[in-house]
Amino acid sequence: MKRDIAIDYLRSGVTLLVVAHHASLAYNTVSFYDADYYLKSSTPVVDTLRWLPLDFFVGWNDMFFMCLMFLISGLFIVPSLNRKGAGRFMIDRGKRLGIPFIISAFLLAPLAYYPSWLLSKAASQGGYLQGFFTNDGWASGPAWFIWVLLAYGALVALAYRFTAGLMKKLSWTATSSWNLVLVVLLLSLTVTIPLRLFIEPGYWAHVAGPLYFHAWRILLYFAWFLLGVALGSADPDRSLSRENLKPWPLWLALGGITYLAHGLIETHVIGPASAPAWLTSVIMTTLYCLCCTFTGLAALGLARKLFHTARPLADSLTANAYGIYVFHYVFVIWMQYLLLGQPIPPWIKFVTVFLTALAGSWLATALLRKTPADQVL
């Protein structure tokens, strides 16, 4: 698959959103810290100073950016399988995803969560590492995305190896703008509404050790990943062309409207208080999928509009984006911890954490890529 600058730069742009998202969680108004069970907090460090605009950034971002990451990842699967074969593909994926996940789970996660433990009641009792890996639950932080992506890739590789006919049927080319919207939306609704009726939105399922996943979204993420696989195995330049993505300003507006409607219902500003729980869940999930679909496709359209020419700084960001994703959480949490109690406006704290985490993880990745670690980063 030839290089697509728009997709490359969008992928690194989403990585920036991930860093900004985690940097903002200490300063939005809805985050909470549980001193009794620190790993049950909404985020490891929560400042006493908050900034309301970050609520909107966090909420809207959370509704689309992970789906978009899975879709972009899926675009490259079939070309890689065709080039390498299923066996070589999985060996390379094991190195590329498995090794960073192991490093994240055993080294980076306990380092990142240590400040959170220091703020908890358990700190006076000692035994941080023993508790982290056993009784406390062994959180993996953002690395959950890596092991889930590895699992999705393995499933597609198995299908490629044993059911070639099925893989050909997965190939799909969007014929128009609204054909693209309709397929993405219907698929999203199909895989989310049944789960959302029975699973609480904040529930994370635990497989074993550091293997967690967001339960009601797991099929949604897989669906977007498969959409990427289907588009990537056909003609992504046609499906995700500037022409097909031309309505992106309208889609972005619709994404914002559906996000606001979702938030108003969630906070009980609108909607009948006596509505049955199942109906509220269906409405909320529908608005979620509408926002996710419109915003995700708008981001693709915006990338097509803006990114045509390679730039050295953007190329460096793209080359180091994966490592930034792997390392940024340690920098984010420690900076948030160090800024606790400082009489600084929360928006300045957010910007400071974001820039420090971005620069630190970018530099760490660039240095490691000059070593044999370049094979996995």
List pLDDT tens digits, range 346-370.
999 999 999 999 999 999 999 999 9
> What pLDDT sits at residue 322?
97
Residue-wise pLDDT tens digits, 171-215: 888 888 999 999 999 999 999 999 999 999 989 999 999 999 999
> What pLDDT sits at residue 1?
57
> What pLDDT sits at residue 135?
86
Mean pLDDT of the chain: 93
56 pLDDT tier (thresholds 50, 70, 90): very high
Region 85-90 average pLDDT: 93
Residues whose CB is less than 8 angstroms from the CB of residue 285 and which lie 6 or more positions away in sequence, other chains included = 189, 192, 193, 196
Residue 333 pLDDT more than 90?
yes
Residue 146 pLDDT more than 80?
yes
Region 247-262 average pLDDT: 97
> What pLDDT sits at residue 115?
98
Region 57-61 average pLDDT: 96
Residue 3 pLDDT more than 90?
no
> What pLDDT sits at residue 239?
84
Lowest mean pLDDT among 36-40, 134-138, 226-230, 373-377: 373-377
Residue 162 pLDDT more than 90?
no
Lowest mean pLDDT among 143-157, 227-241, 261-275, 309-323: 261-275
272 pLDDT tier (thresholds 50, 70, 90): low
Region 263-274 average pLDDT: 78
**pLDDT more than 70, % of the chain:** 98
